[in-house]
Amino acid sequence: MSKLHQMTLWDEPVPPDSPRLPACPPTSRTASLPLAAGASLDEAAEVGTDEIDSECSIAEEPSEFAGLPSFKPLRSAIDAGIFGITATGPMEPDEHEIAALVQEHSNELAGLLIEIDALTDAVRTGVDPRTGRMPRTPEAAEKATTRWRQELEQAKVSYANMLAAVEEGFGLEAGRELDHWIRSRVAGTPKRLPYDPGHPWHYYWAGDGAEPIAFVEIPPSEDAGRWLERDLPKNPAKRLARLRELLTSETERLTEDRRRYEDIIARGAEALSQFDREIAYGGNDELARAGTIALKYNHIRMGLGRVRWLRQQLGYEERWEPIRAKMNAAGDQEPPGQS
């Protein structure tokens, strides 16, 4: 498997909701309500959109990630299956999937640069970046410095591997351009930035160090439906059958994502595979836990949005099904589509 496919691709193509997912529900007309503790999976999928938290102040599109570079995948990389393999052959990502991949890499690279900066300062000053204090004894300071040096080397290797993955899929110039863009955005930024719950550094000590939120509080994606709509059959009967099939599969997937998300929260790095812990995250268990929680959060957010949209569409189609049957029998025109 290629480095690009190993490191940051979702296990399914996930379109970007924005250059960075907002830390709070959007303050626009598409805002979503978190659910009360103890709400069911069904209730979570049908969360309302009429109110928002007035205290939410994180911008939807932080300026430090505005103007994210875009790249075209190498033909040789597509043919080699770098972006995945389907039943019909190598996957050729569309512009939305490419944007999602570049966004994910950019978030990871920016986080790694901030980590490198923080650990470099720790080695130079002897101040623990986790606590802001110096170790109490010379022995503790020596031990801490050794650990910081190891973590610093791991972060540098991870950064190099991330760029190599970009170069593998998009070419050497793309890797250089993204590296330059990330460094120019990170230079001079605060050591601790506010990250949204879909970003690994929301849970990592060098970022927000926040606790994962409960499943029932995850807001569904507002854009999930349009990614399903484009692939649905136009024929009403086939469309209805496909909606039912998708709702079953998406509900099952969402249930499994919830189980996995809550297992990682409960057991931490012990719930992760050896590959995730030792290869994908270079032996950094804290970052492996944070990265996987963020990934599952985004999977759940998209899954909630898909399930909710499918239920809405299915309800509409089922209401029209008997009416269509009568109109077709009488030779009348089809009822109009949903507005």
Domain extents for the chain?
1-23+58-196, 211-339
Among left, alpha and beta (phi > 0; psi -120 to 50; other), residue 297 is alpha
Q: Kindly state the helix (H) or strand (E) to which residue 211 belongs, with its residue range.
A: none
Calculate the alpha carbon distances from 289 to 30, 106, 277 in Å: 30, 19, 8
Structure tokens at 128: 């623990």
Q: Check residue 7 and give its pLDDT.
A: 40
Task: Give the model confidence (pLDDT) of 58-109 as tens digits.
Answer: 334 344 455 788 889 999 988 888 888 888 888 888 888 888 888 888 888 8
Task: Give the model confidence (pLDDT) of 232-289 as tens digits.
Answer: 888 888 888 889 999 999 999 999 999 999 999 999 999 998 888 888 787 888 889 9
Phi, psi of 156 (to 5 degrees): -65, -40
Q: In this predicted model, which residue has the larger pLDDT, 211 or 184?
A: 211
The C-alpha atoms of residue 129 and residue 147 are separated, in whole angstroms, by 12
Q: What is the mean pLDDT of residues 27-35?
A: 34
Q: What percent of the chain has pLDDT over 70?
A: 72
> Burial of 133 by CB count in 10 Å (0-12 exposed, 13-18 middle, 19+ buried)?
exposed
Beta strand extents in the chain (DSSP E only): 85-86, 89-90
pTM of the predicted model, to two decimals? 0.48
Label residue 334 by pLDDT band (50, 70, 90). low
